[in-house]
Structure 1
Amino acid sequence: MEKAYGLEIPQSLEEACDSTRTALLVYDMQVGIIRQLKNGDEIVTRVKTVLDAARAAGLRVFFMRHMSLPKEASGVFQLRMAMAWQRVKTVAEVKPWFLRDSPGFQLVPELGPLSSEVVFDKITMSAFEGTPLDIALRDCGINSFIIVGVATEIGIEPTVRHAADLGYIPIVVTDACGAGHAQAGQRALESMEFIGDAILTDLQTIQQALSRRKPA
Structure 2
Amino acid sequence: MSAPNPEQSALLIVDMQVGLFNGPEKPYEGSRVLGNIKHLIQQARQKEAPIFAVRHTGPAGSVIEAGSPFWQLLPDLELDANVDTLFDKTRPNCFLGTRLAQQLIDASINQLFIVGMKTQYCIESTCRAAAEQGFNPVLVADAHTCMDTPILSARAIIEHHNATLNGAFAKIVNTADTRF
TM-score category (smaller protein): 0.7 to 0.9
Task: Tell me what 2:54 maps to.
Answer: 64
Corresponding residue of 2:90: 123
Q: Quick one: which of 62, 67, 71 aligns to 1:105? A: 71
C-alpha distance in structure 1 between counterparts of 2:31 and 2:63, whole Å? 20
What is the TM-score normalised by the length of structure 1?
Answer: 0.73
Tell me, which stretches of 5 or more residues in structure 1 are unaligned? 1-13, 72-95, 211-216
Identity %: 29
Q: How does 1:51-200 map to 2 (within 5 A)?
A: 51-70=41-60, 96-114=62-80, 115-181=82-148, 182=154, 183-193=156-166, 195-200=167-172
**C-alpha separation in 2, matches of 1:39 and 1:199:** 22
Per the TM alignment, residue 179 of structure 1 is displaced from its structure 2 partner at its CA by 2.1
SS, match of residue 130 in structure 1: coil
Contact persistence 2:55–2:89 (CA under 8 A) = yes
User: Following the alignment from structure 2 to structure 1, what is the Cα–Cα distance between the partners of residues 51 and 45?
Assistant: 8
Report which of the two structures shows the higher radius of gyration computed on alpha carbons: 1
For residue 117 of structure 1, what is the amino acid of its counterpart?
D
1:37 to 13, 23, 27: 27
Shift of 1:192: 0.4
- Determine the C-alpha separation between the residues in 1 that align with 2:139 and 2:28: 21
Structure with the higher fraction of residues in helix conformation: 1
Structure 2: stretches of 5+ with no match in the other structure = 149-153
Q: How many residues align?
A: 167
Deviation of the 1:38 alpha carbon = 4.4
> Helix, strand or coil for the counterpart of 2:43?
helix
Q: How far did residue 29 of structure 1 move?
A: 0.6
Give the whole-Å Cα distance in 2 for the aligned partners of 1:202 and 1:38.
Answer: 16
